[in-house]
Amino acid sequence: MAFFSSLAAAIDSYTGLSPAAFFTIVALMVGAYRLVSAFFVYPDEESAAKRSLAPQMPPPPEGFSPPPQPVQLGDITLEDLKAYDGSDPNKPLLVAIKGQVYDVSIGRLFYGPGGPYAFFAGRETSRALALMSFDPRDLNSDLSDLSEAELEVLHDWEEKFKEKYVKVGNVVAGNSKDEDESRKEIKRDED
């Protein structure tokens, strides 16, 4: 008890404050120091803190291989595009919007077999996306009778695809490569 009364006397004589006021001020100063110093974290401390907080990714399932880097295909006909509908796991998944072909392999959960939007894979989707239609008859590039609002919807989809996926080619009119090849074969036979 003698210790506390001499401490109180010392505080009073040095600071002119009551012990309660003195300790309140000390507590406020410590709090303010801790608050301000929390803003100045060393970079390596910060990354260590982030690393420990980051959710740990589970290891990929056995047999899983990430989709390969998109490959530029150049010009492709609608007929040849159909081969990229996910039925061949060795081929990328492609979707066309306004004649631009995007590699959507990273969206396999959406467009791969069994996915909710699998019917878009390997197809020109402009009309269907503009109309928000699941009707297979709308899987084409006919925009001739669409309203401004529908064209705007399509524009938004196009922007989303541009941002998320790599463009790998353009849809061109014409025969599929297979047809061209068989024509060449026939021509060779005739020669």
Residue 107 Cβ vs ligand HEM, minimum distance, rounded to whole Å = 4
Q: Which of 96, 101, 129, 130: binder of ligand HEM (CB under 6 A)?
A: 129
Residue nearest to ligand HEM according to CB distances in the complex: 132
Residue 123 Cβ vs ligand HEM, minimum distance, rounded to whole Å = 11
Give, in order, the Cα–Cα distances in Å from 93 to each of 3, 114, 141, 157: 81, 13, 19, 17
**Encoded tokens for 179:** 């047809």
Q: Which of 8, 82, 83, 117: binder of ligand HEM (CB under 6 A)?
A: 117
Any contact of residue 107 with ligand HEM (CB under 6 A)? yes
Pairing state between β 100-103 and 166-172: antiparallel
Pairing state between β 166-172 and 74-77: parallel
Q: State which residue, 22 or 117, has the beta carbon closest to ligand HEM.
A: 117
CA distance 79 to 179: 10
- Name every residue whose Cβ is closer than 8 Å to that of residue 183 and which is 6 or more positions away in sequence: 175
The residue among 179, 78, 74 whose CA lies nearest residue 122 is 78
Any contact of residue 134 with ligand HEM (CB under 6 A)? yes
Piece of 34-42, 72-80, 132-140, 143-151 that binds ligand HEM (CB under 6 A): 132-140
**Encoded tokens for 142:** 């006919």
Residue 180 Cβ vs ligand HEM, minimum distance, rounded to whole Å = 31
- Say whether 8 sits in a helix, a strand or coil: helix
Residue 72 Cβ vs ligand HEM, minimum distance, rounded to whole Å = 20
Cβ atoms of 83 and 123 within 8 Å: the answer is no
Any contact of residue 128 with ligand HEM (CB under 6 A)? yes
Q: State which residue, 164 or 177, has the beta carbon closest to ligand HEM.
A: 164
Residue 158 Cβ vs ligand HEM, minimum distance, rounded to whole Å = 11
Residues at the site binding ligand HEM, with contacts judged by CB under 6 A:
107, 110, 117, 128-129, 132-134, 164
